[in-house]
């Protein structure tokens, strides 16, 4: 029995899928799905960004993972396989949060996590009785997870050999624009640290990228993981909330366990925006500088996730944020706020007639898809791109490189900063070309 699992690429402006020699990060879902598949299946994994899709080969089942941005390309792939009679199942955030559309374009969809339903899907496919919708009736308990099939990764296809590993699922917060709590509900779950360590060892890598939304949502649980990571002598990165700095002991522990790159959702410098999107219980603007300094003090580089286009943003917001960013030497990760289907933001925008279109392949978070309050969509796009380009100027990238070396100097720190500098140069090139900086 032959199974193909595909992670689709984003589409470019001309509608064709983006092709690159090397992608940034390894998509964990496909490797985990392969790990969940019984060994009697012959599994082939394709990252559409870097690999050609074997449309002419025979497969007993094709699985496609899709977030909203990737859904249109996912449907194209589904259609090509279905035309030759191959059954296609789609899973992931988009079919879960917007099942109507995916149901029409695939033979089956999986709503929610694969763990509890995937064996059934495979068995049904084998016996020719695939159902239209599979929905897990509860969340899995994240214990006894199989190791993702890291052995199937072709490292030559990635810019960074940062292997994706997961500790937690979900988030204790529920911001208006975010799909995470819609997908995972209010449950914030953790894997046993021993199983995380098992996966890290299986990856045989020293650079690990946790794909958690917030690796420090409950500090004592984070501390358990960090303790277990210390003997592994790895370097790692993750998204994390600024609240990790509330307990410097745990923050220091994270640094000892190899935490080198923290992606923190600062989002905005305007507290009114935070209130509007339900994030004021997580972020307090007046403490951004002091709290992030604590991260740096422990040798952790801070990448600031920022969003533009909130209802209180004006053109001046870009200048103010740029000055703040340069002064504090944060690596920026800017987005335009985007009403992804299934989120509360989408409902609010739709009710107000502010959603401009439903071409989801354009929902990149790098272009405006709704009517902003104090900009025209074109103006917001233009200011955003200028902000992006300016933030990643060569001068700013070099300043950030030297800045962190002042906080802590050592071989590990030097190599981290060098890798970040190289990444910055690639991002800069991508933004200039008008394509998504990360994929
Ligand atoms: C890591 C990550 C990234 C990384 C890595 C991407 C990569 N190559 O994998 C980077 C930083 C590059 C990234 C970028 C972006 N991301 Co991102 N990312 C994530 C994050 C934090 C984790 C993804 C992950 O690996 N999870 C672990 C795996 C195991 O979970 P999973 O993929 O959901 O798979 C499970 C189920 O969904 C299901 N499943 C999934 N696929 C399939 C397929 C089949 C056949 C079946 C049966 C089941 C199944 O089973 C799996 C196991 O239970 C998620 C948030 C999240 N918690 O998922 C956001 C998330 C997916 N990203 C999001 C977005 C919007 C983006 C960006 C567009 C920009 C942005 N605003 O961040 C870009 C697009 C990049 C691009 N060009 O492709 C949104 C998507 C929203 C939506 N509704 O589509 C999310 C949900 C974040 C959010 N807060 O809303 N991202
Ligand atoms: S804190 Fe982050 S992951 Fe959690 S709901 Fe808000 S945006 Fe989503």
- Looking at the chain, which residues constitute the CATH 3.20.20.70 domain(s)? 160-432
Backbone angles phi, psi at 199, to 5 degrees: -65, -40
CA 1–ligand 1 middle distance (angstroms): 28
Residues linked to residue 158 through DSSP beta bridges, in sequence order: 23
Do 258 and 235 touch, CB atoms closer than 8 A?
Answer: yes
Q: Which of 59, 87, 114, 332 to mutate to test the pocket of ligand 1 (most atoms within 8 A of CB)?
A: 114
Q: Residue 238: is its pLDDT beyond 80? A: yes
pLDDT at 253: 98
| Total residues found in the chain within this entry | 439
Ligand 1 lined by 115 (C-beta under 6 Å): yes
Measured between its terminal Cα atoms, the distance across the chain in Å is 30
Instruction: Report how far residue 197's alpha carbon sits from residue 167's, in angstroms, rounded to the nearest whole number.
Output: 10
Closest residue to atom 3 of ligand 2, CA basis: 213
pLDDT digits (tens, 9 = 90+) for 274-329: 999 999 989 999 999 999 999 999 999 999 999 999 999 999 999 999 999 999 99
Supply the mean pLDDT for the chain.
95
The CATH 3.40.50.280 portion of the chain extends over 2-135
Question: What SS3 class is residue 266?
Answer: strand
2-135 under CATH 3.40.50.280, yes or no: yes
Output the six-digit token pair for 250: 């745990």
CB 145 within 8 A of CB 195: yes
Mean pLDDT of 111-128: 97
What is the token pair recorded at 137? Answer: 């009736």
Q: Could you tell me if 206 and 235 are in contact, meaning their C-beta atoms sit under 8 angstroms apart? A: yes
The closest ligand to the CA of 279 turns out to be 2
Instruction: Kindly give the interhelix angle for 394-407 and 288-297, rounded to the nearest 10 degrees.
Output: 60
pTM of the full predicted structure?
0.96
For 11-21, write each residue's pLDDT tens digit. 998 999 999 99
pLDDT of residue 347: 97
The token duo for 110 is: 């999986």
Q: How confident is the model at residue 186 (pLDDT cuts 50, 70, 90)?
A: confident
Output the CA angle 20-91-35, nearest 5 degrees: 80
Query: For ligand 2, atom 2, which residue shows the shortest CA distance?
Result: 213
**Maximal C-alpha separation, the chain:** 62
98-103 average pLDDT score: 95
* Mutation choice for ligand 2 from 167, 170, 175, 210, CB with most ligand atoms inside 8 A: 175
Structure tokens at 189: 């779950």
The fourth-level CATH superfamily of domain 160-432 is Aldolase class I (3.20.20.70)
Pocket test for ligand 1, best of 91, 95, 305 (most atoms within 8 A of CB): 91
Q: How many Cα atoms are found within 13 Å in the side-chain-facing hemisphere of 388?
A: 29
Give the separation between CA 321 and CA 310, rounded to whole angstroms.
13
Q: How far apart are the C-alpha atoms of 92 and 95, rounded to whole Å? A: 6
The answer on pLDDT for 101 being more than 90 is yes
């Amino acid at each position: 029995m032959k199974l193909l699992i595909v992670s689709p690429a984003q589409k470019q402006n001309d509608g064709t899928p983006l092709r690159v020699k090397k992608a940034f990060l390894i998509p964990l879902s496909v490797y985990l799905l392969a790990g969940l598949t019984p060994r009697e299946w012959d599994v082939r994994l394709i990252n559409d960004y870097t690999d050609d899709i074997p449309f002419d080969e025979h497969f007993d089942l094709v699985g496609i993972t899709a977030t909203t941005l990737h859904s249109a390309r996912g449907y194209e792939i589904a259609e090509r396989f279905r035309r030759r009679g191959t059954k296609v199942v789609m899973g992931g955030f988009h079919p879960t949060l917007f099942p109507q559309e995916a149901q029409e374009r695939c033979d089956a969809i999986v709503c929610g996590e694969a763990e509890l339903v995937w064996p059934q899907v495979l068995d049904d496919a084998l016996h020719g009785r695939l159902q239209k919708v599979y929905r897990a009736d509860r969340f899995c308990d994240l214990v006894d997870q199989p190791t993702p099939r890291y052995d199937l990764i072709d490292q030559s296809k990635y810019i960074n050999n940062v292997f994706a590993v997961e500790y937690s699922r979900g988030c204790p917060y529920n911001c208006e624009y975010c799909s995470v709590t819609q997908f995972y509900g209010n449950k914030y779950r953790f894997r046993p640290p021993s199983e995380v360590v098992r996966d890290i060892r299986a990856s045989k890598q020293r650079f690990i990228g946790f794909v958690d939304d917030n690796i420090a949502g409950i500090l004592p649980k984070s501390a358990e993981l960090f303790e277990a990571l210390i003997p592994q002598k790895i370097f790692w990165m993750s998204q994390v909330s600024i609240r990790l700095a509330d307990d410097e002991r745990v923050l220091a522990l994270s640094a000892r366990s190899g935490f080198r790159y923290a992606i923190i959702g600062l989002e905005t410098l305007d507290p009114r925006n935070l209130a509007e999107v339900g994030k004021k219980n997580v972020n307090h603007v007046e403490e951004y500088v002091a709290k992030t300094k604590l991260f740096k003090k422990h040798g952790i580089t801070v990448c600031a996730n920022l969003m533009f286009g909130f209802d209180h943003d004006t053109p001046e917001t870009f200048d103010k944020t740029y000055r703040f960013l340069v002064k504090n030497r944060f690596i920026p990760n800017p987005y335009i706020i985007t009403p992804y289907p299934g989120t509360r933001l989408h409902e609010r925008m739709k009710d107000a007639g502010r959603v401009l279109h439903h071409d989801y392949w354009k929902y990149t978070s790098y272009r405006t898809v709704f009517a902003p309050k104090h900009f025209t969509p074109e103006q917001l796009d233009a200011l955003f791109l200028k902000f992006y380009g300016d933030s990643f100027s060569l001068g700013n990238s070099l300043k950030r490189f030297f800045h962190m070396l002042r906080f802590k100097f050592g071989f590990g720190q030097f190599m981290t900063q060098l890798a970040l500098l190289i990444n910055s140069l690639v991002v800069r090139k991508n933004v200039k070309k008008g394509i998504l900086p990360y994929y």
